[in-house]
Homo-oligomer: A and B are copies of this chain.
């Protein structure tokens, strides 16, 4: 027994007791040998442009040593901010460095938005179901969630976001549902943000992972069209990341927003991690300048499209009695909903793990934890044969648990 064990430690902050066990269960799933992990949102490592990044890494340290090895500006390296401003500008959307903020991965953008806008109990109008990582990021601030059910034909954007500290959406291939928010709804949300003043967070990690059909305009673009060509000062807070376009291990993301938001984010980041590594920022910039994303994108899209099709084919063969789903036009996930409303996918999880497959139950995408009818299945990480085997194991688990069919 240690000395420490004889006395009581101060309690941890209250939010720590509110994290859910399901998340821990599937986070530990990676360590189980033979388990097919279709739970996470991981890119296929064979898509990483290893040789290019290795040689860029050396080059940037040699060429920009003092900049990349010292403390950098909190808001990001000026050259990277300029490059991102250029990348996301359009005739309507006029961006400068003052509109751009570099984050240590996409998750940090969510954390800082919470830090900046949420006092205890603050209201978030969040697209429902809601990205698990966003719920994790905001949980320590005990927010109140108002669910935006965008698909609802009666959806009223103004009523939905009015009075909230911010609205949160993933318009492209929403995590977890994989759905695209249509252009009319995007416009309605933008108009509502203009009318109410509410910040509208457009989280877009998957935007370039688009397999079929036409791309839709970003909400920040729609917002800029209200005052085309003016320096952007509107309510949309656009977030992106290199994690799905190049590699997550760089931990480089960005926020594009009105200068007042960028300045406030800078105050928030100062006390969080001071600045993002200059090494990884310069690697990101050199990769952008070298056109690395455009060069690898065709193969990435082709690979993921084939995996999506393989997953959906296997699902049609094995899961149709229990689940309904739409084939997503982009992103990383298929969202499958119990045909019978009584399906409880929290109960499915241990059966699935026993059968050697892991998927994500819908409860973790609901701040209240009540949505238990669906699962999220990832198709980017595993090869087609392994996806098919995972689906067979899932069918076995549904059979074992005597899940309701329709």
Least CB separation from A253: chain B residue? B273
Chain B residues, CB < 8 A from A120? 120
Asked whether A61 lies within 8 Å of B50 as measured between CB atoms, the reply is: yes
Contacts of A199 in B (CB 8 A): 9-10
Interface status of A392 (Cβ within 8 A of chain B):
no
Question: What copy number does this chain have within its complex?
Answer: 2
Bound CA–CA A133/B274 (angstroms): 9
Closest to A271 in B: B136
> Is there contact, CB below 8 Å, between A70 and B50?
no
Contact A3 B57, beta carbon cutoff 8 Å: no
CA distance A234 to B13 in the complex (A): 19
Given contacts A16-B116, A116-B13, A250-B277, contact A107 B68 (CB under 8 A): no
Among A11-54, those with CB < 8 Å from B are 12-14, 16, 19, 40, 42-43, 45, 48, 50-51, 53-54
Give CA–CA (A108, B104) in the complex, Å. Answer: 11
Count of chain A residues near B, Cβ 8 A: 94
Q: Is the CB of A271 within 8 A of B111?
A: yes
Question: Which one, B45, B60, B194, B283, contacts A4 given CB within 8 A?
Answer: B194
Minimum distance in angstroms from A113 CB to a CB of chain B: 10
CB <8 Å contact, A273 and B108: yes
- In contact, B53 and A55 (Cβ under 8 angstroms): no
Docked-complex contact A69 and B55, CB < 8 angstroms: no
Smallest CB gap from A227: residue in B: B2
Judge whether B233 and A2 touch: CB under 8 Å: yes
Does A90 touch B at the CB level, under 8 Å? Answer: no
Contact partners of A258 in chain B: CB under 8 A: 4
Question: Are B272 and A230 interface neighbours, CB within 8 A?
Answer: no
For residue A363, give the distance in angstroms from its CB to the closest CB of chain B: 17
Q: How far is the CA of A196 from the CA of B230 in the complex (A)?
A: 60
Q: How far is the CA of A199 from the CA of B251 in the complex (A)?
A: 31
CA separation between A283 and B250, bound complex, in Å? 13
User: From A9, which residue of chain B is reached at the shortest CB distance?
Assistant: B197
Q: Tell me the smallest distance from the CB of A358 to a CB of chain B, in Å.
A: 15
A202 to B315, CA, bound (A): 54
Cα–Cα distance between A276 and B58 once the two chains are bound (Å):
20
Chosen A-B contacts, 29 in total, with CB atoms closer than 8 Å, are A2-B227, A2-B234, A4-B194, A4-B233, A4-B235, A7-B195, A7-B196, A9-B235, A10-B165, A13-B122, A42-B71, A45-B66, A45-B70, A48-B65, A48-B70, A51-B62, A55-B58, A57-B57, A57-B279, A68-B249, A104-B104, A108-B273, A111-B271, A137-B271, A139-B271, A249-B278, A251-B276, A279-B280, A280-B280
List of 7 A-B pairs having minimum Cβ-Cβ separation, nearest first: A7-B197, A58-B58, A136-B271, A69-B247, A54-B61, A57-B57, A69-B249
